[in-house]
Amino acid sequence: MTHPSAPAASEQFLKYDEQGAYHWRLTYEGGWRRSSPGAHARYDVALGRVAARVDLAGARGLDVGCGDGVMLYKISLHGGRAVGIDMEQTALRLASGKLREHGAAGVEVARASAYALPFADGALDYVTMVEVLEHLDRPDALLAEVRRVLRPGGVLALTTPHRLPTGEPQDPYHCQEYSGPELRELMERYFSSVVVEGQYPRRFSRAYRDGVGVRPLDLALRSGVKVVSTLGYNPFLRWTTERPSFAWEGLVAVGTRGK
């Protein structure tokens, strides 16, 4: 996702300028053969954790680092409404266009910093962040701000990559990556009832993404995952663990604001 703070010009997030609305191509455009079950799961796992705790239909939500708007669209499909914020003008322009194109023209997006959310104290029922935390050089400032705008009992759900054992960044845009215990410790400074899970078993993800070196098997694996995902069983979404280790590529965390 995008960098929702205001980086120096040399550090600008350029993927939207270079690739356009690439998250939509991985999810809702191009048909099932080109869709990515893993890309869907990044959004769906966080949204599912929120929906299990909050009635989306009557709730006020926020998607931080909304990028080109896929999470906002998914929220609308579940009967909810949320505002999306981002610092990247290109991303916001793409989000507005794609949401309108897909029948969600009333969803609001705005340019705002994750470190200064434009909401009153306790104004929101839930906040989502998909692949955002790793881009921030001041995660404590962000989480404190999210806690401020959530009502007591409000929920934050986020996803972020599980760091490598070496600590080497997996993307040049990442400021910091986390292990499961590191993410839990960070979240527990601001939220109660914190749950951190591992997502994307590394061996399965690599086999799906890179193949096993036998073309018929690779095609069968990818096609099979895509087919069962369209039928409602996305393995990237369903395979999680409450004991994340380096055997898992991603993390999903949920925290509730206390009183």
The pTM (predicted TM-score) of the whole model is 0.91
Structure-block tokens of residue 258? 């206390």
User: pLDDT tens across 42-76, in order?
Assistant: 999 999 999 999 999 989 999 999 999 999 999 99
Look at residue 232 and give its three-state secondary structure: coil
User: pLDDT tens across 158-215, in order?
Assistant: 999 999 999 888 888 899 999 999 999 999 999 999 999 999 999 989 898 888 888 8
Per-residue pLDDT for 118 more than 60? yes
User: Residue 12: what pLDDT?
Assistant: 60
Q: Tell me the C-alpha distance between 171 and 245, whole Å.
A: 20
Confidence of residue 33 (pLDDT cuts 50, 70, 90): confident
User: Residue 168: what pLDDT?
Assistant: 87
Higher-pLDDT residue of 13 and 124 is 124
CB 146 within 8 A of CB 190: yes
> Is the residue at 196 inside a domain?
yes
Domain that includes residue 217, residue range: 9-256
> Is the residue at 4 inside a domain?
no
Structure-block tokens of residue 3? 């960098």
Look at residue 200 and give its three-state secondary structure: strand
- Residues of the chain with pLDDT > 90, as a percent, come to 76
> Is the residue at 1 inside a domain?
no
Q: Tell me the C-alpha distance between 233 and 156, whole Å.
A: 25
Q: Please, what's the largest Cα pairwise distance for the chain?
A: 56
Per-residue pLDDT for 105 more than 50? yes
Residue 165 sits in a domain of what CATH number? 3.40.50.150
CB 127 within 8 A of CB 149: yes
User: Residue 32: what pLDDT?
Assistant: 76
Number of domains in the chain: 1
Checking phi first, is residue 192 left (phi over 0); if not, alpha (psi -120 to 50) or beta? beta
Mean pLDDT of 20-34: 89
Look at residue 44 and give its three-state secondary structure: helix
